Amino acid sequence: MAVLGAGAWARLAHIPGFKRDPLCEVVAICDPQRHLAEAVAAEFGIPSSYTDHREVLARDDVDMVDVCTPSATHFELAWAALEAGKHVLCEKPVAFDFRDTIRAAELARLKKLKTKLGFTFRYAPAMRYMKHLIDTGYIGTPFIFNGYEQNSQWLDPMNPLRQVDVDADQSVLQVSSLEGYGAPIIDIGAWAIGADYKEVVGTMRNFIPERMVRATGRVMRMNIDDGDIFLGEFANGALGSIQTSFVTVGNYPGIEARIYGSEGALICRLVEEFGICESLKGARPNDVEFKEIPVPPEFYPSGGSKAESWRTLFYANLTASFIGELLADDDRNEGDFMDGARVQEVINAVEHSFRERRWVTLPLPR
């Protein structure tokens, strides 16, 4: 397989995940910044480095391409990789408009290729065990989901902001945390509840008006949503709430998923605190104090534990999941581009809701 993008996330999460799996071999790394491609090739023992993704996609020996580049480039690169006949892992979002993500999902289906989104947190061992408990009846009928992704990553305005459109009209609030932080927890909400979002209403706010921006190297007005909240009704009658923010005090990654049902409740926290990156707690109607639920060893990647860094621990499960799907003889493919399109549709719907101050019904017009 080949990795496009030799930036921070490729180094901290993606490549360590692939390198851990004996079933795959990373043969190429590509970044237009040659020094980054070469440094990552040397760091991880990757035999070839490139500055042009087209040369990577032309290689016959590459079965899968990992798109770990700035968000605005994902669609073009994922599309080109699918057209070249490669299976694709893509960081979220594939595209900012869910209709484009659907088009990419359909191209993959036509070409019989598998896809996966970088929905890191559904692959956390504790989150996977929570899903297993839900599927085997622990909570009974699901009633309510509360999801959070929040931490203080950009509470300091001098921390250089990435993944933003510096040319955007700053008189209009730009979707930001809802996109970057919302996607994984919106995904977990539908996955845990077992139904799609049907109606949403939400709001978002810019709390820190001026920030240092990496692309310009200066402090400038950035009217981005750095906090947002929405309510959702699911197609099976359950209710949900989602809150995301990168200016709320707390540590990485800052995920919390709470699910309450007729027979029990589960709370999964993915917050690195005191050297531990995940926890799962549960309670029952006749035993309402939440107790720690140990996560069985088979939910961890080899050598993994909750004392490992969340970045490598969760991503190792994600890469192993994709490699397993690519090697399987069936059509198993969780968290694929179609799941990505559903999540993006919710993000687009919450944005409509905020701009028009009203409930928005899903699916949106195609």
Ligand X SMILES: NC(=O)c1ccc[n+]([C@@H]2O[C@H](COP(=O)([O-])OP(=O)(O)OC[C@H]3O[C@@H](n4cnc5c(N)ncnc54)[C@H](O)[C@@H]3O)[C@@H](O)[C@H]2O)c1
Binding residues (CB under 6 A) for ligand X: these are 4-10, 30-33, 36, 53, 68-71, 73, 77, 91, 118, 120, 162-163, 180
Question: CA–CA distance from 208 to each of 117, 167, 171, 215 (Å)?
Answer: 30, 18, 14, 18
Is the Cβ of residue 12 or residue 328 nearer to ligand X in the bound state? 12
Shortest distance in whole angstroms from residue 265 CB to ligand X: 26
DSSP for 18-85 reads HHH-TT----EEE-SSHHHHHHHHHHHT-SEEES-HHHHHT-TT--EEEE-S-GGGHHHHHHHHHHTT
Q: Nearer Cβ to ligand X, position 154 or 260? A: 154
Nearer to ligand X, 176 or 353 (CB): 176
Q: Determine phi and psi for 201, rounding to 5 degrees.
A: -145, 135
Q: Least CB distance from residue 207 to ligand X, whole Å?
A: 20
Rounded to whole angstroms, how far apart are CA atoms 143 and 140?
Answer: 9
Instruction: Between 71 and 150, name the residue whose CB sits nearer to ligand X.
Output: 71
Is 138 or 310 the residue whose CB approaches ligand X more closely? 310
Residue 19 burial (C-beta neighbours within 10 Å; 0-12, 13-18, 19+): middle
Shortest gap between Cβ of 273 and ligand X (angstroms)?
Answer: 18
Question: Which residue number has the CB closest to ligand X?
Answer: 7
Task: Choose among 188, 207, 205: nearest CA to 197.
Answer: 188
Residues whose CB falls within 8 Å of the CB of residue 68, separated by 6 or more in sequence, listed in order: 3, 4, 5, 7, 9, 10, 14, 91, 118
Least separation in angstroms between CB 94 and ligand X? 10
CB 88 within 8 Å of CB 67: yes
Which one, 14 or 264, has the nearer CB to ligand X? 14
Q: How big is the CA angle at 14 (ends 67 and 177), to the nearest 5 degrees?
A: 70
Specify whether the backbone of 143 is left (phi greater than 0), alpha (psi in -120 to 50) or beta: alpha
CB of 73 to ligand X, least distance (A): 5
Q: How far is the CB of 286 from ligand X (least distance, A)?
A: 38
Q: How far is the CB of 188 from ligand X (least distance, A)?
A: 12
| Nearer to ligand X (CB atom), residue 163 or residue 290 | 163
